[in-house]
Chains A and B, each alone.
Chain A
């Protein structure tokens, strides 16, 4: 069994109010390392066996169609062992 991970992030030019709120909360707790924070989504998709290139292409198509909105978001697809 393999796990395919799709990470979805807002495009850099799109304001991320949740990331800004997290970024503002960190220093209040004494964590002063962050210059900025962006928040995204992670999808973990389990499949039987090792994924074929065709399956990965299909996942990418699903990411483009449903998991991410390409108007405001970007995504990456990778396999996690």
Chain B
């Protein structure tokens, strides 16, 4: 099973995402922002970083990269797609997920190990977890405050589309402590913290993040 990992100019976490994909027993395929095809991948990860320097708004320019046209079409056809941090911002800008990520409410860039609660294990990327499970993975962002209007928030809550919430103090001012959400179909997931940095205890604080990548294997086997 092949998982595409996209590199935009300014992407930082593509290597770790590819390593996580490999660690989970799947094959990582590098995709470049200027690629016009997806090289036959079964799923795609948009990793974290500062694509296009975060110019204009985070993810606003990446969303129009040539590779994104193909990714948007494939995701609309059901292909599993995970956006982490900057990748989550790209997914919102591309309107594959609702809402937007804005500046952390206290303005500081945060970098810490963050406790999360998994609140939906029915998506392509979260089936390895149980609902209510607590995990610790790194959180590192300057613009991670999830914002949307009241109707969207009510829909996300009502349809169980919030996949993870921050535990404890709200780190960035996200509405309802939202750390990650999914689309109606459950194939597209956006997550602000970084599971790819926590896949083994040699390089991360925990191995709690690996479940996002092993979930995919389950989703594809089904």
Query: Measuring CB to CB, which residues of chain A are less than 8 angstroms from any residue of chain B?
Result: 10, 13-15, 17-18, 21, 66-67, 69, 71-72
Contact = CB atoms under 8 A, between A and B. Distances in A.
Contact of B148 (A21, A66, A71): A71
Contact of B102 (A15, A21, A66, A67): A15
Interface of B: 56-57, 60, 64, 92-93, 98-100, 102-107, 145, 147-149, 173
Nearest to B106: A17
B105 A71 contact: no
Nearest to B101: A72
Contacts, number: 35
A15 B107 contact: no
A14 B102 CA distance: 9
A50 to B, nearest CB: 27
Give 9 closest A-B pairs by Cβ, nearest first: A72-B100, A71-B100, A17-B103, A17-B107, A17-B105, A14-B147, A69-B100, A69-B57, A21-B107
Given A71-B100, A72-B147, A15 B105 contact: yes
A66 B173 contact: no
A27 to B, nearest CB: 18
Main secondary structure of the interface of B (DSSP, over half): loop
A69 B60 contact: yes
Contact of A66 (B56, B105, B145): B56
Nearest to A71: B100
A66 B64 CA distance: 9
A23 B218 CA distance: 51
A66 B149 CA distance: 20
A17 B147 contact: no
Nearest to A68: B57
Nearest to B108: A17
Contacts of B102: 10, 14-15, 17, 72
15 contacts: A10-B102, A13-B149, A14-B147, A15-B102, A15-B145, A15-B173, A17-B102, A17-B103, A18-B107, A66-B64, A69-B57, A69-B93, A71-B99, A71-B100, A72-B100
Nearest to A72: B100
A13 B60 CA distance: 21
A67 B56 contact: yes
Contacts of A10: 102
Contacts of B148: 71
A71 B146 CA distance: 12
By CB atoms of chain A within 10 A, which of B102, B107, B149 has the most? B102
Contacts of B106: 17
A71 B92 contact: yes
Contacts of B56: 66-67
